[in-house]
Amino acid sequence: FLVQLTGGTHPLQANYLGDTSFNASTSSKSITITKATTTIGPLLVSGQATVGTPFGVNLTVQTISNGAAPSGTVSFTANGSPLSRTVSYAPQNATVTSPASLGAAINATVSTPGTYSISANYNGDINYLSSTSASTASVVVKYPSPTLTLTPSSQTITTSSAKYAHY
């Protein structure tokens, strides 16, 4: 049978009950499982970056593990300040063709226009080490384009013989 052990030290014990030819025996050993490393892939920004309008930031926590998907949390920052929206996760256990990974996405908003450097941190879990995004995504946030609607308060129609006003 197959058991996936978490990072840390684990005592193992094997027991043989014996038979008519061999005596029973027991053997114990401790093994240490090192947590797997993680990296944060490129941060992808989607949507229009305007004040008060959500824009998306997506990333993938990548591993080289053939086991369970990472289960920790990801935090996002803009110019070092936390983006405090709900983060959604898409864990992927390893398959024959791809290692385990964790997708993370946030729909962020900011209240001031400017250029923001977005970065991310994965906090790790029982099987995986923490990591910080090696690169950042740059987002230019602008005020929304104003909309102007004009409605005339009166209309004047002029003909060759008379002038009519409509209010």
Nearest to 131 by CA among 67, 4, 41, 69: 41
DSSP annotation of 7: S
| Tens of pLDDT, residues 128-164 | 999 999 989 999 999 888 777 777 777 666 666 655 5
pLDDT at 164: 54
Is pLDDT above 90 for 45? yes
Q: How confident is the model at residue 1 (pLDDT cuts 50, 70, 90)?
A: low
Residue 115: beta bridge partners? 140
> What is the rounded CA–CA span in Å between residue 124 and residue 162?
83
Answer for the pair 40, 120: CB distance below 8 angstroms, yes or no: yes
Q: Is the pLDDT of residue 87 over 90?
A: yes
Q: pLDDT grade, residue 84 (50/70/90)?
A: confident
Q: What is the DSSP string of the chain?
A: ----PPSEEEEEEEEE---SSS--EEEEEEEEEPPBPEEE---EEES--BTTS-EEEEEEEEE--SSSPP---EEEEETTEE--SPEEEEEE---SSS--EEEEEEEE--SS-EEEEEEEEE---SSB--EE-SS-EEEEEBPPPP------S-EEEE-SS-EEEE-
Collapsing DSSP states into helix, strand and coil, what is residue 81?
strand
Q: Which residues, listed in sequence order, are joined to residue 74 by a DSSP beta bridge? A: 122
pTM of the model: 0.76
Say what the pLDDT of residue 37 is. Answer: 95
pLDDT band at 47 (very low <50, low <70, confident <90, very high): confident
Q: Which amino acid is at 49?
A: A
CB atoms within 10 A of CB 118: 21
The torsion angles phi and psi of 156, rounded to 5 degrees, stand at -120, 130
Report DSSP state, residue 52. T
